[in-house]
Chains A and B, each alone.
Chain A
Amino acid sequence: MSPSAIALAVIFIIVVSGSALGFYAGTRHKMSLEQWTVGSRGFGPLLMWLLMAGETYTTFSFLGASGWAYSRGGPALYILGYLPLASVIGYFILPPVWELGRRHRLQTQPDFFLAQYGNKYLAAFVAIVGVVFIIPYLLIQLIGLGIIVEIASFDAIGRTQAMIVAVVLLGGFVFVSGIRAVAWVSVPKDILMVVASVTIGIAIPGIYFGGIGKMFAALAGAHPAHLLMPGSTANLGHSWYISSVLLSGLGLSMWPHGFAATFTARSAETIRRNTIVMPMYNLSLAFIFFAGFTAYLVIPGLSNGDLSMLTLVRQTFPAWMLGLLGGAGALTAMVPAAVHILTASTLFSKNLYRPIFAPDMSDDQVARLARVVVVLLSLVSLIVAIYSTLSLVSLLLLGYAGVTQFFPGVVLSLFWKGVSMEGVFAGLVTGVACATVLILGNHDPFHGINAGFLALCLNFGIAVLVSMVQPTTTGRSNARLSGHMARTDD
C-alpha cells in the first residue's frame, strides 16, 4: 500500500468509528426539539465537560494555533492567554444564564434575550448576528478538514473534493442525531487530540533538535524576535495582545453554541466545577506550539502556515502516524462543525423565521425546518470555504468580533437593573456595524488595537448611555415580572 492509502485508510477508520458512536447515541433517544437542541437538560458533569471541551478545542487549536506559531510567532500566544480567562468569565456569567434557562425553558441565545428584554425584534437580530458570525467558525472546521485530507493524500485529493465529502458526512451526522451524538463523539476525539498533540509536541523537537529546550535555544539564537510580540508581523504588538485577549476572553461564553450548551447542564454547580477545571485543558495546547515553532526552523517558507504542522508530521513520521493525527484532527473538526450547524439552523428556524414570518408553527414543524436549514447552511458554507483565503486564526478573530457584541446585553441584564431594551439594541447594532466596517475596510487592527474590541467598547458605552437616558421599558419589566412564563415564544 502506498503511504497516502495507509494514511487515508487510518483517517477513514477513525472518522467512521467516531460517527458510528454518535449515531448510536442519537438513536437511543426519541428526538423532540428539546432533546435535539439541549439534550433534555440532563447532562451531568462528565458529558457536560466533554461537550464544552469538544466545542472549545477545535481544528483551530490543532492546525490554527501551530499555523500562527509558525507564520506569526509571538502573537499566537494570545490563544494561551484568552482561553483560561474565558473560563473565569464563564464562572460568573454561565450559572445565572443556566438558572434563567431553566426557569423560562430557554433553548437558544435569542430565547435568552427575549426573556430578558421582551422584544422579538431584538431576539431576531441576535439570531441573525449569531448565524452570520458562527459561519467563519464553521469555515475553520471545513477548511481544516480539507487541509487534513489534502496532506494525508499527498496532494492527490484536492481540498475542494475533501471538503465536499466532509460536508456530506457532517450534514448527515447532525441531521440524524442532534446534540447528544455530538457530546459522545467528543470522547474519542478528546482522547486522540490530547495523545496526538503531546506526542507530536515532544517527538518533533526531539527528533530534529534533541529536545524541546534545545529547539527553543536554537530558535532564540537564530530568530529571537519571532518568539516575542509582534513576532513576524508588523502590527500585532502588546496593545493588540491585550485587546484581543479581552475580546476573545469575554466572547468565548457568547458563542451561540456555547451559550446553548450551558442549557444542557443538569445544575449550575456542574457548570461552575467545569469552568474551574477548564483552564488546565489548555496545557495540551503548549505542545501544539512546540510543533509550530519547530516547523518554523525545519521547513521555513510555506506560504500557508496552517499547513505547517501536518507537512512536518508527514515528512517525519510513517504514514500510519500521519493517519492517526489526521483522524484525530478530522474528528476535532467534525464535532464543533456539527454543533455550529445545529445551532445556526435552530437559531434561524426558532428565533428568526417562526416569530417574524410564521407565528403558528408548532415545535415539530420548527424542528423539521431546522433540519432543512442544516442542509442549506452546509452548502452555503462549503461554497464560501472553497473561496476563502483567510488564515484559520483570522477567521476565528472575525467570529469573535461579531459574537462578543452580545456581551453587554447579557451581562447588563444579569447584573444591572437599570438596563433598557433600547440601550442594548442600540449598542448591539452599533457594535456589529462598527466591527463589520473596520474589518471589511481592512482596518483591523485599528491603530494597533483589535477592531472587534473597539466595537465592543463603543457598544458597551452606548448601551449604558441610552439606558440612562431612557430607563427601564415596559417590555423588560413585563418579562421580569412574569417570572413563571411557561414558554418564551408566545
Chain B
Amino acid sequence: MKKPSLWAIVIASIPFCAMCFSVAAWDRVYPMVFGLPFNLFWLLLWIVLTSVCMWIVHRIESARTAKPANHPGERNPS
C-alpha cells in the first residue's frame, strides 16, 4: 500500500495533540465560553476543526494521487 505523505500525517496529528495529549492544559472549568465549561467547549471546537484538518489532508492526498497515474497492480514481493 502507498504510504500517506509527510504533510498529510503532520496535519492529521494536530487533532491528536489538541484533543488527546494536551488534556492537562485544557481540562478546566474556567474561563467558560458560550456558557460551557472550558474543557467541553475545547472539545466541541476541535470536533469542527478535526473535519477542517481532514479536509486539508484530503486536498493534499488527492493532489498527490492525481499526478502519477501509473501504479499497475503494485506487486512488490518483499
- Is there a chain B Cβ closer than 8 Å to A81's Cβ? yes
Judge whether B68 is part of the interface by a CB distance below 8 angstroms. Answer: no
Q: How far is the CA of A22 from the CA of B3 in the complex (A)?
A: 39
User: Are B48 and A238 within 8 A (Cβ)?
Assistant: no
* Residues on B with beta carbons closer than 8 Å to the beta carbon of A276: 51, 54-55, 58
Residues of A within 8 A of B76 (CB): 417
| Closest Cβ–Cβ distance, residue A33 to chain B (whole Å) | 27
Per-residue 0/1 for B50-62: is the Cβ within 8 Å of any A Cβ (1 yes, 0 no)? 1101110110000
Contact A481 B55 (CB under 8 A): no
With a CB–CB cut-off of 8 A, which chain B residues contact A84? 15, 19, 46-47, 50-51
Among A378-419, those with CB < 8 Å from B are: 414-415, 417-418
What does the 1/0 interface line of A235-269 toward B look like (CB < 8 Å)? 00010011001100100000000000000000000
Tell me whether A480 is interfacial, beta carbon within 8 Å.
yes
CB of A238 within 8 A of CB of B35, answer no
A3 close to chain B: CB less than 8 A: no
Instruction: Count how many chain A residues have C-beta atoms less than 8 Å from C-beta atoms of the other chain.
Output: 50
Q: Complex formed: what's the CA distance from A88 to B52 in Å?
A: 11
A62 at the interface (CB under 8 A from B): no
How near does chain B come to A121, taking the closest CB pair, in angstroms? 22
Which residues in chain A, 173-221, are within 8 Å of chain B measured between CB atoms? 211-214, 216-217, 220
A282 within 8 A of B: yes
Residue in A80, A91, A272 whose CB lies within 8 Å of B12: A91
Binary CB contact string for chain B from 1 to 43 against chain A (1 if under 8 A, 0 otherwise): 1011000000010011001110110011110101111011001
For A213, the chain B residues whose CB sits under 8 A away are 32, 34-36
Instruction: Indicate whether B70 reaches chain A with its CB closer than 8 angstroms.
Output: no
Please, how many angstroms separate the alpha-carbon atoms of A85 and B17 in the complex? 10
8 Å CB contact of A272 from B23, B50, B58:
B58
For A245, the chain B residues whose CB sits under 8 A away are 19-20
A445 within 8 A of partner (CB): no
Interchain CB contact under 8 A, B77 and A477: yes
Across the A-B interface, give the 6 residue pairs with the lowest CB-CB distance, nearest first.
A213-B35, A417-B78, A84-B50, A80-B43, A279-B50, A96-B1
